Structure 1
């Protein structure tokens, strides 16, 4: 099968969408499919990736996010490329100008296209003082995804929400985690010492974009409440973003490790003890699974990955969405009770260790194959119930 994947973010950019798309592209290539990757070009572009044919297009820097770009419309370029080597299916991962032009090109050429709902841009608007734009953003997202034969989402809750908002072509594509990469055996005493933590000390961790939409003020409040009881606790932040400088200036005792990838990222996870994830703006939250696989006690809202995979009081602490006081209390309880924390850490690992990235790729392959067959047989695409 020949598949074209269109995305406006991709490694070395570090975010959930980029890493998810990278996994899907490489997973299909490993199973023998011809994969074309359409993305904005970068000044530092180097050689290609084995098994993946890159088509780079014009892009522009994303305001307030250094290092990230969005793609400009490339309809004519895509139509030329797809006439020369017609894909059996197109997957559009992002809803920007490049993604919109890709849907238009696929429609003109009669190529089945599906989309991924990865980012809550409707929630982001309010966090950047643009809440008045939320209805317009929602309308854009609805128009965009309804143009596709199917919209892929990682959770049943999100599928139900989108259906209620008029996006009725939803199909479920679950997420997984590489439990061999993210593993407690990567715990590193020397790294902990560099953070100023004792062997038996408490290290709290955050991994992700450091930005307003992540609700990070709550994470800080939870840590400060815990620190009042455990004065030598350390808070380590892995990631970057527009909020980092202000956060660092206001909290000089925090450890900022910058963006990390691969085994280095896994080592940072495994060397911590408690993972606080206060975001409500995620469609999923891959970092929750990575923390659980790494054997961390997790506190998260009842949302996204936590709702799907974290059993409250057994493999972590799941707090009702928006209950800030409950979030702080859960973080405090796990921070001061080493016995409970260690029990939840072991259970967290067990809860996600069997999740298979390979199974996700097989399901993605099957979804794309069905779309291609439906189009070849001129049958209308009927979204599977999820």
Structure 2
């Protein structure tokens, strides 16, 4: 229990919808930590998320509602799912009518809920946590002109949805995201900077395993580490060039890459980038919990080459494990790494300098030691409890504002209230119709493009999942009398 937890949140009903709860990624870990914190301190949290076959680390002693949604797995990362068209009233019936709605990293789930919330007469307050830069991913994944179409469409949708009066707070993790939100037209007066925490008891230098080191680097090589999802937007092309240049310069090192992808074709493409230096590279696959902490602590230096990170949780975990970090100076890592103190920040396109700074750290054990101590001390001041308490205080503030607004709301007679409810029902069904339209012009092109390398697998996966779409469409048509 946290003594700083707002007491007025005990027993309050929070509907938390997320795009990811279960897979090993930053959104799952961040959101799971918040859910656990709220439940441990007495709030009721109903979770809405796409279906996931694996276990989650979130406990649910009170059996708070959990609604898992049907959807189609993303071709580039099957751990993530694009939710099929859904209905807010159906979610309410499976969970509860909430006092507040919290949308973590809104995309296929969050966008749909926001669109329907906009049609309601008196919706509950809404909070958004912008954690995933879909725009940056689109620019990397899609060919021209599809990339610019995706960027334009995302900004249009986000600016429109985020500007509704029901939205009380938009959390953002870094200055880069704040600039994007401003360009997209989000209300900047509602934005609030929120970083991420790290489990400093799990990720710590003492988790170092000498047997693991001997297995990876039997000749005493310096171990360089990269942790993250194996995907094209994570900067592996840049990392491969760094490794090739270090090898050509005769540096004494091994490059460990920890992470994976449920799509074997994507993993194979990334591994091919390192073909010419495969004697230097070890792919460990997924690691989590103590096994992941061991990998971090057993390395000597962390290399972060992605430029799409809104925060970069793996950077903070590496620092908590006592690793100096060399990172490209863009996005979230720019606000975590203290240049020349806990590591180095390098201009995003400067491979030569990235290699030079890495070589410097490979060659100097004393510099690594100094930066290791600084990195650990920075991480110790960034705990999940501090981060989650900031969210809880904002939730309390939003609920108080909603209660005050209720008192000033005019009382309507029965006829006016009934007419208003009919209009709202029509508007919600029109919003669901718009969702089907967006599936046609945005989601299906994304899935088809991503599945172009294995069309048979796309058709085989899509056909069994047509029934949930049909059921939702049928329900929508019935409610409008068609």
- TM-score computed with the length of structure 2 as normaliser: 0.73
Residue 100 of structure 1: which of 97, 102, 111 is its match?
111
Q: Is the 8 A contact 1:106 1:112 kept in 2?
A: no
Residue of structure 2 aligned with 1:366, choices 393, 402, 419:
393
Partner Cα separation in structure 2 for residue 265 and residue 311 of structure 1: 24
Q: Which residue matches 1:140?
A: 157
Query: What does residue 29 of structure 2 align with?
Result: 19
Match of 1:258 in 2: 285
Instruction: Find out whether 1:5 has 2:16 as its counterpart.
Output: yes
Could you tell me how far apart the structure 2 residues matched to 1:124 and 1:273 are? Answer: 29
- The match for 1:214 is 234
Displacement of 1:232 in angstroms is 4.2
Q: Cα distance, 1:8 vs. partner?
A: 1.9
Q: Does structure 1 residue 158 correspond to structure 2 residue 174?
A: no
Please state how far the C-alpha of 1:335 moved relative to its aligned partner: 2.0
Report the Cα offset of residue 367 of structure 1: 0.9
Task: Kindly provide the CA deviation profile for residues 326-364 of structure 1, in whole angstroms up to 9, marking residues without a partner as x.
Answer: 222222222222221222112111122121211111111
Q: Give, in whole Å, the separation in 1 of the partners of 2:288 and 2:40.
A: 21
2 CA distance for matches of 1:141 and 1:236?
Answer: 37
Measure, in 1, the Cα distance between the counterparts of 2:250 and 2:318: 22
From 20, 27, 30, the counterpart of 2:40: 30
Partners in 2 of 1:373 and 1:327 — Cα distance?
49
Matched-pair contact (CA < 8 Å) for 1:226–1:336: no
Residue 47 (structure 1) shift? 11
Which region of structure 1 is more displaced relative to structure 2, 31-40 or 299-308? 299-308
How far apart are 1:102 and its partner, in Å? 2.0
1:234 equivalenced with 2:247 (yes/no)? no
Supply the distance in 2 between the matched residues of 1:345 and 1:219 (Cα, whole angstroms). 22
Contact 1:300 1:306 in 2 (8 A): yes
Question: If each structure's helix is expressed as a fraction of its own residues, which one has the higher value?
Answer: 2
Which residue is 1:68 aligned to? Answer: 80
d(CA) in 2 for partners of 1:299 and 1:135? Answer: 32
The answer on whether the counterparts of 1:159 and 1:171 sit within 8 Å (CA) in structure 2 is no
**Among residues 103, 113, 118, which one is paired with 2:131 in the alignment?**
118
How far residue 224 of structure 1 moved from its aligned partner, in angstroms, is 2.4
CA-atom RMSD, angstroms? 2.3
Aligned residues: 375
Structure 2, unpaired ranges of 5+: 1-11, 407-482
> TM-score by structure 1 length?
0.90
Change (3 A) 1:164 1:285: same
The 2-side partners of 1:48 and 1:263 are apart by 17
